[in-house]
Amino acid sequence: MKRLVLALLCLAAPSAAGEAEVVAATAQKTAGGWRFDVTIRHDDTGWDHYADGWAVLAADGTELGYRTLFHPHVEEQPFTRSLSGIRVPAGATSVFIRADDSVHGAGTRLFEVPLADGS
């Protein structure tokens, strides 16, 4: 029985970290589009379960840009990464950021980012 419980715990371990979460984000309009600085928190456990990217989404869910994260950030939590050159639809007053992880895929929580002067 102990072996069965231990085996089940080992199988459950990769998902124990839960989904990645956006905890802060800023947007800045530049000559080449919008720049987003996004801070993500996730209990990365290593290569088996880590925050592996984040998306910038329009209000209708259209993906405007994606930042791939190529490695775990076990010792760096939360962490901030940027993405530039994002084209936002004319008239948009905000966008949403979604964090993804290598076990759960696309996150279910969205973080709204107001666009200071519209697009």
Sole residue written with tokens 């759960």: 104
pLDDT of 50 above 90: no
pLDDT value at position 6? 35
Question: Is 114:93 a contact under the CB 8 Å cutoff?
Answer: yes
87 near 33, Cβ under 8 Å? Answer: yes
Has residue 9 got a pLDDT over 60?
no
What's the confidence (pLDDT) of residue 5? 35
Read off the pTM.
0.80
64-102 tens-digit pLDDT: 999 998 887 767 779 899 999 999 999 999 999 999 988
Q: Which domains does the chain have, with CATH numbers?
A: 2-114 (2.60.40.150)
